[in-house]
Amino acid sequence: MIGPPKDCDPIITVRGLRNSFGEQVIHENLDLTVCRGEILGVVGGSGTGKSVLMRSIIGLQKPDAGDVEVLGETMIDRDEDEAKNIRRRWGILFQNGALFSTLTVAENVEVPIREYFPYLDKQLLDEIASYKIAMSGLRADAGPKYPSELSGGMVKRAGLARALALDPELLFLDEPTAGLDPISAAGFDELIRSLQKRLELTVFLITHDLDTLYAICDRVAVLADKKVIAVGTIPELLALDHPWIQEYFKGPRGRAAADTAEQHGEMIGGSGA
């Protein structure tokens, strides 16, 4: 296991996490550190508990044991009012967007702002919603549309606009490119990368998409055997001889993604900063 870099300023710290559903243990003694300003990719086979890990970090799933600290505050057994102060500092994009289906895209973006800043005047609120929508790469006519009228790619972008509504420091993305065509997926990768750089975000990204890993992740955490078996840049991971990691990155799809990344002249695993 490769630890965090020396100059790491931890923004998420998970220690000794244990999660289980009935008899089935999902995580056992799981440790993970996410550093400020990085894009951390989380990979793992289906059913290894990637989403459960994200849910425990954001407080939707109460772990059996262990400690989770986000932005320097522990997330276990927090009082709802105290937790709110942390919640407004992060944004979350759920796998299927989780847009409120009875609200328009613009209203969806306004929900978190209204919740925390009810006294903003209507016009400023609309202006904020409209530049967030534009920043997320949605077309100008998307604002008044309802989620059921949007395509899969647009739902993800609208979800991202809502996640960015409060200018978060920390962004959680659960399989942002799943179900998108390769062109939209590449566009979404680029969008995340550029937003991350410009808004100085820290991104916790769950993905199955090898292209995404090569294109935008600074470090990758591998989930297997109920814990994080390794965290590091892709070259660092490739140097390990864990069978799952080798299979994952050196399989046909892994090689194809590596080739694409090389052709694009990207520094594999480099921070790009």
273 binds another protein (CB under 8 A): no
Order of strands across the sheet that contains 202-206: 90-93, 170-174, 202-206, 39-44, 219-224, 227-232
In angstroms, give the least distance from the CB of 159 to another protein: 15
147 binds another protein (CB under 8 A): yes
If the CB atoms of residues 128 and 222 are measured against another protein, the closer one turns out to be 128
AA identity, residue 18: R
Scanning 24-32, 141-149, 208-216, 243-251 for contacts with another protein by CB under 8 A, the matching segment is 141-149
If the CB atoms of residues 99 and 180 are measured against another protein, the closer one turns out to be 99
Distance CA 196, CA 216 (A): 10
If the CB atoms of residues 138 and 206 are measured against another protein, the closer one turns out to be 138
Q: Which of 141, 241, 252, 273 binds another protein (CB under 8 A)?
A: 141
Angle at 12 between CA 7 and CA 15, to 5 degrees: 100
Is residue 265 within 8 Å of residue 69, measured between CB atoms? Answer: no
Q: How many CB atoms neighbour CB 142 within 10 A?
A: 20
- φ, ψ for residue 241 (rounded to 5)? -110, 40
Scanning 44-52, 124-132, 226-234, 256-264 for contacts with another protein by CB under 8 A, the matching segment is 124-132
If the CB atoms of residues 83 and 135 are measured against another protein, the closer one turns out to be 135
Scanning 61-69, 71-79, 118-126, 204-212 for contacts with another protein by CB under 8 A, the matching segment is 118-126
Distance CA 215, CA 60 (A): 29
Angle at which helices 252-263 and 243-250 pack, to 10 degrees?
A: 60
If the CB atoms of residues 148 and 263 are measured against another protein, the closer one turns out to be 148
Residue 24: strand pairing partners: 21
Collect all residues with Cβ–Cβ distance below 8 Å to 89 and sequence separation of at least 6: 71, 166, 168, 169, 170
Angle at 178 between CA 230 and CA 92, to 5 degrees: 75
Distance CA 135, CA 79 (A): 34
If the CB atoms of residues 134 and 240 are measured against another protein, the closer one turns out to be 134
In angstroms, give the least distance from the CB of 232 to another protein: 29
Residues 182-241 that bind another protein (CB under 8 A): 198-199
# residues contacting another protein (CB under 8 A): 33
170 binds another protein (CB under 8 A): no
Collect all residues with Cβ–Cβ distance below 8 Å to 211 and sequence separation of at least 6: 177, 182, 185, 186, 189, 257, 260, 261
If the CB atoms of residues 8 and 103 are measured against another protein, the closer one turns out to be 103
Q: Which of 121, 241, 263, 265 binds another protein (CB under 8 A)?
A: 121
If the CB atoms of residues 20 and 96 are measured against another protein, the closer one turns out to be 96
Residues 58-117 that bind another protein (CB under 8 A): 101-102, 104, 106, 113, 116-117
The contact set with another protein (CB under 8 A) reads: 101-102, 104, 106, 113, 116-117, 119-121, 124, 126-135, 138, 140-144, 147-148, 166-167, 198-199
